[in-house]
Amino acid sequence: MSQATLAPHAGAHGHHGHKADPFAYDPAVDAPAEHHAIYDYDSGPPVERGKFAIWLFLATEVMFFTGLIGTYIILRTGASAWPNPEERLAVDITAFNTFVLIISSWLMVRALQAGQKGDKAGILKWLGATILGGALFVGIQVYEYIELYKHGSWPNVDIFWSTFYAMTGFHGLHVVVGVIWLICAWFGAARGKYTAQNHMGLELAGLYWHFVDLVWVLLFTIVYLF
């Protein structure tokens, strides 16, 4: 933690003496009479900046997906009829895709554990497998969209498809961003960026990836099984 000592205002606690330059800070004159611990410490939040930022970002992401899921629930419960998702969607393939994403999340945990040990080869291996899992998830989702397109299931057909594409599409976009982020992290690891002492970049990428997994767990239930 950096030691950002703040210059206290002259006169607040200090002694008023005579100085050659009245605007210059002179510790002998301007230093507080009694010790204030707050001046010795960083005034930032009691957590790493990157982690604070990513959690703040994830909180906004929660609200983003809440808007989508909330709208879906309201439309769904307000509809006089709603088709059975099983009759329109391939639940078995998507269930497999859910397992893929959960496995990739577990692989990410292993990658971070390797990072905590400073095991570069381990990071590359587990992170590489995580990326493959993410890419497979996106591939299966693209396949699903192509099949739906062939059957004429467009977003403008009815409210079921509108909400389906809105929710799964935005989530898919997040997965793509996550895969790109993980690829960047992988190249960072290959350059020896992460050590046992500093692997924050890897942890931040992991937090985002787990969040994407968490959102899918809820989306899968609400969209495919409800």
Partner 1 sequence: MSGHDEHKNFNANKIFLWLFIFTAVEVAWGILGHKWHVGKPLLWGGLLFFALLKGVLILQYFMHFRFEGWIVKGLIAPTPILIAVIITVLSPDVACNGKLNNNIGTSFDPKTGQIVELPEVAARKGVLPHNAPAPKGADAGGAAH
Segment (H or E) for 68:
helix 49-78
Return the amino acid letter for 182: L
Q: Which residue has the tokens 């497998």?
A: 129
Nearest to 90 by CA among 145, 133, 16: 145
**Smallest distance from the beta carbon of 124 to partner 1, in angstroms?**
18
Name which of residues 113 to 152 contact partner 1 (CB under 8 A).
Answer: 113, 116, 144, 147-148, 151-152
Distance of alpha carbon 115 from alpha carbon 124, whole angstroms:
10
Name which of residues 33 to 72 contact partner 1 (CB under 8 A).
Answer: 45-48, 51-52, 55-56, 58-59, 62-63, 66-67, 70-71
Residue closer to partner 1 by CB (options 25, 52) is: 52
Q: Which of 10, 89, 131, 175 binds partner 1 (CB under 8 A)?
A: 89
Residue closer to partner 1 by CB (options 5, 198) is: 198
**Smallest distance from the beta carbon of 4 to partner 1, in angstroms?**
18
Distance of alpha carbon 4 from alpha carbon 2, whole angstroms:
6
Q: Which of 14, 31, 32, 90 binds partner 1 (CB under 8 A)?
A: 90
Name which of residues 159 to 218 contact partner 1 (CB under 8 A).
Answer: 159-161, 196-200, 203, 206-207, 210-211, 213-214, 217-218
Name the H helices within 191-226.
200-219
8 Å CB contact between 186 and 67: no
**Smallest distance from the beta carbon of 39 to partner 1, in angstroms?**
21
Distance of alpha carbon 136 from alpha carbon 108, whole angstroms:
15
